[in-house]
């Protein structure tokens, strides 16, 4: 799995032009589509059918997961990250879920809230690996930000992991052109190949990140 930023059209055009890279650094070529998936977003439900690419160098094929999705999660990453931020701000899980209001399709002004059990599953999965993530993000920070940004403790494991992720995101924005709008959830999705909340967390992309980073720029 490789995560990519930008519209499906932009991804398709970059794939055809050989501008998307595999984790090994090889060039990806078009390789059909993955199955469509329905996801809940703050803008309403969406059906996404990611493209697939195959690597010219290592022969592996990858689902090109949009940077606003996480693998096997039926909610868009901005919704999940809003839950993490609310929890880090001290809200209880039920209050976090109640605050995540998503529009009902076809009914202007009507919203539904994320079920508490769903928000709870994201929060407990993230909290269980938050310290490992924080350390991994801090380990990456000198690569993307040689000036050494200081990360202030946020006072909770989730808050500290998010603060380290923010610092990496800020470093990437400053260092690479075309990433001004890069969001922390996109960085997290990208560094984990979309597996941020998968049953087991993969090792974060290290040096290869800087090569593959070209893949996350929609320009
Ligand atoms: Zn490859």
DSSP string, 195-207: -TTSSSPPPPP-T
**Residues near ion ligand 1 (Cβ under 5 Å):** 22, 24, 26, 55, 57-58
The rounded Å distance from CA 14 to ligand 1 centre is: 16
CA distance 149 to 69: 28
Q: CA-to-CA distance for 11 and 74, rounded, in angstroms?
A: 21
* Each residue's pLDDT tens digit, 113-128: 999 999 999 999 999 9
pLDDT band at 109 (very low <50, low <70, confident <90, very high): confident
Q: For residue range 7-56, what is the model confidence (pLDDT) as tens digits?
A: 888 889 999 999 888 888 899 999 999 999 999 999 999 999 999 999 99
Contact between 60 and 2 under an 8 Å Cβ cutoff? The reply is: no
201 pLDDT above the threshold of 70: yes
CA 53 to ligand 1 centroid distance, Å: 10
Does the global pTM surpass 0.75?
yes
Q: Compute, in angstroms, the gap from residue 23 CA to the centroid of ligand 1.
A: 6
Residue 96 reports pLDDT greater than 90: yes
> Domain coordinates of the chain in residue numbers?
2-214
Transcribe 126-149 into DSSP letters: HHHHHHHHHHHHHHHHHHH-TT--
Report CA(29)–ligand 1 centroid distance (Å): 11
């Amino acid at each position: 799995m490789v995560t990519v930023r930008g519209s499906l059209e932009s991804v398709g055009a970059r794939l055809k032009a050989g501008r998307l890279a595999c984790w090994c650094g090889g060039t990806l070529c078009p390789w059909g589509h993955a199955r469509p998936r329905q996801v809940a977003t703050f803008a309403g439900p969406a059906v996404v059918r990611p493209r697939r690419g195959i690597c010219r160098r290592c022969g592996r094929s990858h689902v090109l997961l949009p940077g606003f999705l996480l693998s096997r999660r039926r909610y868009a990453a901005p919704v999940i990250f809003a839950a993490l931020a609310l929890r880090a701000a001290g809200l209880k899980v039920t209050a976090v879920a109640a605050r995540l209001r998503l529009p009902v399709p076809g009914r202007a002004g009507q919203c539904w809230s994320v079920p508490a059990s769903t928000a709870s599953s994201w929060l407990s999965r993230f909290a269980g690996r938050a310290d490992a993530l924080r350390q991994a993000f801090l380990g990456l920070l000198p690569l993307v930000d040689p000036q050494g940004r200081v990360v202030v403790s946020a006072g909770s494991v989730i808050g500290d992991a998010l603060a380290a992720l923010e610092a990496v995101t800020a470093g990437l924005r400053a260092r690479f052109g075309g990433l001004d709008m890069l969001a922390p959830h996109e960085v997290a999705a990208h560094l984990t190949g979309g597996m941020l909340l998968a049953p087991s967390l993969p090792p974060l992309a290290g040096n290869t990140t800087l090569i593959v980073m070209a893949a996350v720029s929609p320009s």
